[in-house]
A and B are shown apart, each in its own frame.
Chain A
Amino acid sequence: MFLSFVFVNLIGTKTDCMRTLKQNHTEAVKPPGKTVSVTYRLKKSAFAAILENGFSIGYVNIDLQKDQDADPNGFSTKGAQSYRCLMEKGGLRVTLYAEGKTGDFWTLELEIDGKAVAANPVSVETDGKGHLDYDNLIS
């Protein structure tokens, strides 16, 4: 087995939820790329809803419950908080799955190591099936 499935409860832990990039003692191969510090700001329209566990940046699951702003339609890293994410050769993999009504949208702004990414803002609008999905590399 390339993985030993030890489930970590992220709730209540610090945001550096990704494990240190250490070589697994099994036959697992060290991943290509480097670890970067990521902050984000996600805004969505009123009727859009993000799927549970449906938001990942650089292979790190984003804790939406904890990151929700006072405005229920906003999510962000607060203060000095950041996520330690894996930046691949092609960029930072961002996946987000959401539901919504016609005209709903979400907008994402990312900072990698304190610098805004060129792709800002990433924005997705509801498709015909009521989804607002995104899975791309951002550099």
Chain B
Amino acid sequence: MKAFFIILLLAAGIHLTASGQLVAEDASGKSSILLNASSISINLSEAALSANWNNFRNLAIEKPQQILWGLSARGSNSEGLSELFNGGQFTPKSRISGFIGLRKSYQTSAFELLKRIREIQTSEGFPNEEAMNVIRQLNEQVKAGRKKQPSKALDIYLNTGLNTDNFKLYSDQDNSSLAARFNNISFRGAFADIGINYEYGSRWTLGISAGYERYNNIDSLLSTDYKLTNITTIGNSQLSTEVKYHAYSGDYVAYNRVNFRTDALYFAKVSDAYRLVWNTLYTRWIFPLNESRINKVIQAGTAINFYKSEGKFAGGLYAQSNDLFNHLHSTDRFHERLSFGITAKYAFGTIMSRDFPE
């Protein structure tokens, strides 16, 4: 088993160009499941940095109901690790979001009995033999009830936010000058998702979400590096200057779409030192609204994520079909529409609230 993990970590080191993902996220960093993993994440291949701030530390104590909230920011930059905010400006590609949710645990009778025990423990005249007997009996009731009932919990949340893309779009329609062919595009999108998580027993957490999003097709544009050379000649002297552009070309479309996502997490123990969270099957359903130039896309994948028993994330692998039913007609071969990647996630014990300590 140790050798397996060494191979896994070596693979992580070698395949830095592979697409990355986070604990329960798909290749683009989205998920329908709220895991109590508040931390900084680094995506190796896309050079992305994300930060989360939330009250998930309250999840260490299970209550009948509790409110969850969180803020997260994610920035990426094709030229290296991003700064989340740069002089008050959004980085070329960034997303900020906030969520609020309600968690309900279904250990109702246990909570009531434990509350009664506490009331007895803190009452005037305690301790005495008779009250202690009552507490023992109540504890027996708690245990008997829990033997019959697997743990169950439901989370309902609203996740909303903004995303930005700032880039240059190359268009060969403008013939006034070559420089004029590079247009600055400032895309401002927004999204809202409603999701439900259901936890059952020790193994399963299921998640589903539905959302509306203002999006663009930058992912399908051709990314190219251009070099524009200007030559000025005076007499027998020649001055040449170079301007470099990183620009996208193709039919750019900003549009509205509806998303559906599902996840099914399976928790297992690998060894004394390692655990795994297997996102057995996740799906992403994307339907554009009133935009015939954009096809609907259905993605599906599976992902295995390893973490150490104390909670520190160790890495993972995923396989995803980016176009399950070939709506994009990119290739008829199913296996060519598959992508594989590695996962990397680090937790910094001194920064913000965290559930995966160093």
Query: Can you name 10 A-B pairs with beta carbons within 8 Å?
Result: A46-B37, A46-B307, A49-B62, A51-B61, A53-B118, A59-B127, A73-B355, A95-B139, A126-B202, A130-B201
B123 close to A3 (CB less than 8 A): yes
How far apart are B35's CB and chain A's nearest CB, in angstroms?
A: 8
Q: Which of B75-83, B144-152, B166-174, B290-298 contacts A (4 or more CB under 8 A)?
A: B144-152
Q: A24 CA to B124 CA in the complex, in Å? A: 8
8 Å CB contact of B122 from A49, A61, A103: A61
8 Å CB contact of A10 from B62, B122, B353: B122
Given contacts A72-B57, A103-B275, contact A7 B123 (CB under 8 A): yes
Binary interface profile of B, 302-326, with partner A (CB < 8 Å = 1, else 0)?
Answer: 0000010111000000000000000
8 Å CB contact of A129 from B59, B127, B130, B150: B150
B349 at the interface (CB under 8 A from A): yes
Of A24, A72, A102, most B-chain CB atoms within 10 Å: A72
8 Å CB contact of A133 from B61, B143, B311: B143
Q: Which residues of A contact B311 (CB under 8 A)?
A: 45-47, 73
Q: Which residues of B contact A98 (CB under 8 A)?
A: 62
Within B53-69, the residues touching A (CB, 8 Å) are 56-57, 59-64
How far apart are A69's CB and chain B's nearest CB, in angstroms?
A: 10
By Cβ-Cβ distance, the 10 closest A-B pairs, closest first, are A46-B311, A103-B269, A130-B151, A72-B57, A28-B128, A24-B125, A101-B267, A130-B202, A49-B62, A53-B114
Q: A43 CA to B84 CA in the complex, in Å? A: 34
How far apart are A107's CB and chain B's nearest CB, in angstroms?
A: 10
Within B193-227, the residues touching A (CB, 8 Å) are 200-203, 205
Cβ-Cβ contact count across A and B, 8 Å cutoff = 194
A24 close to B110 (CB less than 8 A): no
Within A67-82, the residues touching B (CB, 8 Å) are 68, 71-73, 75
B131 at the interface (CB under 8 A from A): yes
Q: Which residues of B contact A75 (CB under 8 A)?
A: 60
Q: Which residues of A contact B153 (CB under 8 A)?
A: 99
How far apart are B318's CB and chain A's nearest CB, in angstroms?
A: 20
B258 at the interface (CB under 8 A from A): no
Given contacts A71-B349, A127-B202, contact A61 B57 (CB under 8 A): no
B125 close to A45 (CB less than 8 A): no
Given contacts A29-B130, A46-B355, A102-B268, contact A52 B61 (CB under 8 A): yes
Q: A28 CA to B227 CA in the complex, in Å? A: 91
B45 at the interface (CB under 8 A from A): no
A19 close to B202 (CB less than 8 A): no
A26 close to B36 (CB less than 8 A): no
8 Å CB contact of A6 from B64, B124, B203: B124
A40 at the interface (CB under 8 A from B): no
How far apart are A38's CB and chain B's nearest CB, in angstroms?
A: 14
Q: A95 CA to B146 CA in the complex, in Å? A: 14
B121 close to A130 (CB less than 8 A): no
B119 at the interface (CB under 8 A from A): yes
Binary interface profile of B, 251-273, with partner A (CB < 8 Å = 1, else 0)?
Answer: 00000000000000001111000
Binary interface profile of A, 122-139, with partner B (CB < 8 Å = 1, else 0)?
Answer: 000011111101010000
Given contacts A101-B267, A103-B275, A129-B202, contact A29 B357 (CB under 8 A): no
Within A99-124, the residues touching B (CB, 8 Å) are 99-105
Given contacts A29-B130, A129-B149, contact A7 B119 (CB under 8 A): yes
A18 at the interface (CB under 8 A from B): yes
How far apart are A73's CB and chain B's nearest CB, in angstroms?
A: 6
Q: A86 CA to B127 CA in the complex, in Å? A: 8
Q: A56 CA to B120 CA in the complex, in Å? A: 12
8 Å CB contact of B61 from A5, A64, A103, A130: A64
